[in-house]
Amino acid sequence: DAAVTQKPRYLIKMKGQEAEMKCIPEKGHTAVFWYQQKQSKELKFLIYFQNQQPLDQIDMVKERFSAVCPSSSLCSLGIRTCEAEDSALYLCSSRRDWGGAGTQYFGPGTRLLVL
Amino acid sequence: AQSVTQPDARVTVSEGASLQLRCKYSYFGTPYLFWYVQYPRQGLQLLLKYYPGDPVVQGVNGFEAEFSKSNSSFHLRKASVHWSDWAVYFCAVRVTGGYKVVFGSGTRLLVSP
């Protein structure tokens, strides 16, 4: 099975602090996705990277988040100023290619709690 | 735009009984369809996937799903539920040639003894 690694597993921040979480995609995967999930409900798409370039992201990410994939083996998602509503599970996912039939694999997530 | 509806937020099944979790999709183009499972405090794991071809697809742990173009459905089934199947199940769709996967809101499966 493919393995996507995420660190840390748990993160606690005070309101107004900066947060950063990391993802190591499956080796050879060129497409990387970040999702936000609250209370085990639907996954909210945040941002998509293809070959380390951000190709799609929602407005919330543009305004308050920072996301980069400096190498094919490491991506990070940051929140510049945490708000209570940012408390959620952040899931990183990777796929071998962007439009083919490849399976999307998920990491275990980073659970962020903003106090 | 493609979308997925899981009409049942919660389903309770007795251990050993059969299971069906419903999924309705809408799409423009040829869909790839997926079922993922999320166990407590974990990420999502793929159960099975449908690519255009045989409408019935087999997955892991005895799960299967059937694609129906006429009903726009991709329901998940299992003949005999085990207590370890207690989890949240997500249906998802991706349009052929597209990059984005759209997920349903999930169905929480509870297994009673």
Residue B90 has a pLDDT of 96
Q: Is A100 helix (H, G, I), strand (E, B) or coil?
A: coil
Rounded Cα gap, residues A21 and A77, in angstroms: 5
SS3 (DSSP) at B92: strand
The pLDDT, as a whole number, for residue A47 is: 94
Q: What is the identity of the amino acid at A109?
A: G
The answer to whether the Cβ–Cβ distance between A103 and B49 falls below 8 Å is yes
For B66-85, what is each residue's pLDDT tens digit? 999 899 999 999 999 999 99
Q: pLDDT value at position A53?
A: 92
Q: What is the pLDDT of residue B107?
A: 97
Q: Could you tell me the maximum CA-CA distance found in chain A, to the nearest angstrom? A: 41
Residues of chain B below pLDDT 70: 95-97
CB contact under 8 A, A42 and B44: no
pLDDT by residue for chain A (115 residues), tens only, comes to: 558 999 999 999 999 999 999 999 999 898 999 999 998 888 999 999 999 999 989 999 999 999 999 888 899 999 999 999 999 999 999 998 766 667 889 999 999 999 9
B98·A105 Cβ contact <8 A? no
User: Any CB–CB contact under 8 A between A42 and chain B?
Assistant: yes
Residues forming beta bridges with residue A78, ordered by sequence position: A20, A66
From chain B, which residues contact A within 8 Å (Cβ)?
32, 34, 36, 38, 41-46, 49, 51, 88, 90, 96-101, 103-106, 108
β-strand pairing of B3-5 with A19-24: unpaired
Could you tell me the end-to-end alpha-carbon distance of chain B, in angstroms, rounded to an integer? 41
Taking the Cβ of residue A51 and every Cβ of chain B, the question of whether any pair is shorter than 8 Å is answered with no
- Round to whole Å and give the CA distance between A41 and A37: 6
What is the torsion angle, in degrees rounded to the nearest 10, for the CA atoms of residue B33, residue A38, residue A20 and residue A23?
Answer: -20
A107 and B88 in contact by Cβ < 8 A? no
Say how far apart CA A80 and CA A84 lie, in whole Å. 13
Partner-chain residue, chosen from A45, A50, A99, that has the shortest CB–CB distance to B98: A99
- Name the one residue in this structure whose structure tokens are 């997530």: A109
- Residue B106: what pLDDT? 96
Chain A residues with CB-CB distance to B34 below 8 A: 103-104
Q: Quick one: pLDDT at residue B42?
A: 85
A88-95 and A105-106 strand pairing? antiparallel
Kindly provide the b/e burial profile for residues A56-80, where b requires at least 16 CB atoms within 10 angstroms of the residue's own CB.
ebeeebeeebebebeebeebbbebe
CB contact under 8 A, B103 and A107: no
Interacting residues of B61 by C-beta distance below 8 A, sequence separation 6+? B47, B78, B85
Helix (H) or strand (E) holding B103: strand B101-103
